[in-house]
Amino acid sequence: MKKNKLFIILCLLCIFTSIKAQAPKITASLDRYEIEVGEQVKLQLIAEYAPDMQVQFPLLKLDSELIEVAEIGDIDSASLESGLIRNLQVIRVQAWDTGQYVIPSMRFSYINPDKNIKGQFATEELTFFVTSPLENALPTPNPQDSAAVAGADIRDIKGIKDVPFTWRDAIPYLLMALVALLILGGLYYWWRKRKQKEASAAAYIPPPRPAHEVAFEKLQFLEGEKYWQQGEVKKYYSELTNIVREYLEGRYNILALESTTDEILQDLKEEEFEGELWNKLKDMLQTADLVKFAKAKPDIEKHPHYLANAKEIVRATKKVIPVIEEASIDE
């Protein structure tokens, strides 16, 4: 009977030891237990457990609004020489008022699916104190020394003292104003020069081309159109006489485009335009009048003949502009 009781006790001890060995080792600690207002205290959560076990870290919930979680670090995992796994998490807590604060207990959950073991582990509450930097800075006064006690009192902040304004203080503003004036002056100068150039360009009227250059150019173009070769004799003579009339108007300053043939010939006599050229011009203008108004049909050889006469008239009567050469001065 005694042997049976002893056997049962040994079995219970083995079971309890096995369960205790399977439970993870969890610790919670602070790096310090007294801080100043605005500083942070570091909470370390460490869990060591067997590789076949799973441990879940809890979320930290604070009961006071005067402290807050400043940072929650990641869970770092490492393997120990003993074969266990070690998980570490760092949580930083910050306080904004003096006093005593408590970090509540946190419950870790663990489970071993293979051995059907699960459970929870609660950490202990952790207490820390928050002090004022002013309290730590002031020396501890002697109660018997009234002067020391008075010196430790907190006094009102003095008002803002007006500082007189000097010329040295005004130098930066004067320099900035000077730079601004220079920039504005430069912009105004550039704008005025540009307007002057635009006004000069708008007012500039290029001199007209010499009448003979325009006439030769149009006669060359008329020859290339080949109107009479295509049966357009009337159009050919109209274009030919208009070119000659325009040349005479520009060369001799007469109203040749609006005048009749007789009026043109009479005006040219006054300009001393006589002789063989005058006769050739008369023949060409009168023949063109017959073609345009009487539907006359000159011989084919007459068409290029009158074109050649027109070129000869322009070439012989063109105005020659003398070129004045500057005399060189010998040094």
Helix (H) or strand (E) holding 311: helix 302-317
**Residue 181 lies inside a defined structural domain of this protein:** no
Amino acid at 36: E
**Could you tell me the two tokens for 293?**
């108004």
For residue 75, give the CATH number of its domain: 2.60.40.680
End position of a domain, from candidates 93, 109, 134: 134
Q: Position 168: which residue type?
A: R
Residue 142 has pLDDT above 60, yes or no: no
CA distances from 3 to 94, 229, 329 (A): 61, 148, 149
Is 143 a member of any domain? no
Q: How many distinct structural domains can be found in the chain?
A: 2
Q: d(Cα 181, Cα 188) in Å, to the nearest integer?
A: 10
> Domain residues for 89?
22-134
Amino acid at 30: L
> Could you identify the residue written with the tokens 């050229």?
277
Domain annotation covers residue 108: yes
4-13, 126-135, 195-204: the lowest-pLDDT one: 4-13
Tell me what percent of the residues of the chain surpass a pLDDT of 90: 28
Flag whether 148 is in a domain: no
Q: Is residue 223 part of a domain?
A: yes
Indicate the residue type of 237. Y
Q: Which of 112, 134, 156 is the last residue of a domain?
A: 134
Residue 161 within a domain: no
Query: Positive or negative CA dihedral for 215, 219, 220, 222?
Result: positive
125 and 227 belong to one structural domain? no
Which candidate, 256, 180, 246, places its Cα nearest to that of 218? 246
pLDDT value at residue 144: 55
**Is the residue at 165 inside a domain?**
no
SS3 category, 159: coil
Q: Can you give the pLDDT at residue 73?
A: 86
| Single residue among 95, 117, 134 that ends a domain in this structure | 134
- At residue 2, the 3 state secondary structure works out as helix
pLDDT tens digits along 164-216? 777 787 888 888 999 999 999 999 999 888 888 777 666 657 778 899 999 99
Answer yes or no: is 232 within a domain: yes
When mean pLDDT is compared across 31-45, 67-81, 191-205, the lowest value belongs to 191-205
| Torsion 95-97-102-106 (CA) sign | negative
Residues 27, 112: one domain? Answer: yes
What 8-state DSSP symbol labels residue 33? S
pLDDT of 156 higher than 90: no
